[in-house]
Amino acid sequence: MGVSSSPLPAPAMPRSRPRKKPFYASLWVQVLLAMALAVALGYVSPARAIAMKPLGDAFIKLITMILTLIIFCTVVTGIAGMQDMKKVGRVGGKALLYFEIVSTSALFIGLVVGNMVKPGSGFNIDPLTMDAKAVSDYAGQAKAQSATDFILHIIPTTVIDAFAKGDILEVLFVAILFGFALSAVGPRCKPLIDLFEALTHAVFAVVNILMRFAPIGAFGAMAFTVGKYGLVALGPLAKLIGTFYLTSILFVVAVLGAIAAAAGFGILKFLIYIKEEILLVLATSSSEPALPTLMEKLEKLGCSKPLVGLVVPTGYTFNTDGTSIYMTMAALFVAQATNTHLTLMQQLTIFSVAILTSKGASGVQGAAFIALVGTLSVIPTIPVAGMALILGIDRFMSMFRAVVNMIGNGVATLVIARWEKELDGPTLQRNLSRPSA
């Protein structure tokens, strides 16, 4: 018998493992390092640190430049591609109900903590000695707004005007109408839907390019904050800052943590998953620069594009948990610092008014301070001039306000996606365990 001449199978080549990215190439490491350098520069050379402000402003403008386009394209393509139009209304209704319950709870927590800790007691400030001019500019912007005014504000004067002003709610309103219209027309609008789909991918590619400059933007914003206000300025108001920071952390861990656990995922895993966004918001004191990448990450976790497009932008106006805690706590601080006694009815009035005024304090830095001035104006016995006390540290307060706002909206999106059965608990836990970048 002859020996078989069939060739032996070639030995299997070992698979080359993908090279692990060095830790210093991670965005969160670069942002964290930039923040540390900024704090050092602000402490050593305040004048030079203040001069870094354009770097932070430029980065925020770069992101907000395309923010409305991202929201419009995401919502339009999402709704137009949906088979069940009832789902859009159902998701919107659930989101607004969730937002109202959680943000009102945050207002109540701020009121309770403010009464228990009394961060303003012992200051004994005479309002007549305060610099009222420092608050007058904000007071001019703090106009009383009824529920009707708020609803009418959602409708833009023209479609172009919504994009020109960069108003998230107005753009969202136009996008929802446009998405419904494309869905109603049907196949004839398929080329237009494909165009928006391609534009969405292109816009997110632009975001990925711009995020490479995040460490530079974070450096500029943080350097300006430390250089302008100085870490020494935190001393006299350390009790208020510490109380607010601790309350915010407890709110995220306890309240949002309980909501997350009920929805089948861990809050700590989620915080690690969005660590880049958290650091970016801390540095810039605004939650808007993190909105595009937050939306992208939520989609990667399994949330549908239309749900993310509806819940996240809407939450930036209606679900401001960090701002809610700040408003009631800061209002009590001003009253306590100026020895202004507030009755239970007056505190409930502040609480009720803040339910509405907090809805206008979206991601832009300083908006919550304006809303607070407007809230205090309804109680004549509280001297609005007392707001000058916290004007100097508002930038430090806004860091945590914006972070809690962003985290709250991320949790809300995942919770509503779970309610809609878009993803199950095990899948969500598995996706959260993967590297976010």
Q: Cα(389)–Cα(391) distance, rounded to whole angstroms?
A: 6
DSSP letters along 249-282, please? HHIIIIIIHHHHHHTTS-HHHHHHHTHHHHHHHH
Domains, the chain, ordered by start:
27-433 (1.10.3860.10)
Position 161 pLDDT exceeds 70: yes
Position 47 pLDDT exceeds 60: yes
- Of all residues in the chain, the percent with pLDDT exceeding 90 is 16
Q: Cα(164)–Cα(172) distance, rounded to whole angstroms?
A: 14
pTM score: 0.78
Contact status, residue 243 vs residue 119, Cβ threshold 8 Å = yes
Poorest-pLDDT segment among 142-151, 213-222, 227-236: 142-151
Tens digits of per-residue pLDDT, 57-88?
A: 888 888 888 888 888 888 888 787 766 667 77
Q: How large is the angle between the packed helices 367-376 and 394-419, nearest 10 degrees?
A: 100
Provide the pLDDT for residue 84: 65
CA quadruple 150, 155, 159, 160: dihedral, nearest 10: -20
Considering the chain, what is the average pLDDT of its residues?
80
Position 254 pLDDT exceeds 90: yes
Residues 6+ apart with CB under 8 A from 87: 306, 420
Provide the pLDDT for residue 252: 95
Amino acid identity for residue 193 in this structure: I
- Among 337, 399, 333, which Cα is nearest to 366's? 399
Poorest-pLDDT segment among 243-257, 340-354, 385-399, 402-416: 385-399
Per DSSP, the three-state class of 186 is coil
DSSP letters along 337-398, please? HTT----HHHHHHHHHHHHHHGGG--SSTTHHHHHHHHHHTTSTTS-GGGGHHHHTTHHHHH
- Among 284, 303, 283, 285, which Cα is nearest to 295's? 303
Place of tokens 């109540």: 108
Q: Cα(437)–Cα(430) distance, rounded to whole angstroms?
A: 15
End-to-end Cα, the chain, rounded Å: 61
At 104, the pLDDT band (50, 70, 90 cuts) reads very high
Of 215-224, 330-339, 367-376, 411-420, highest mean pLDDT = 411-420
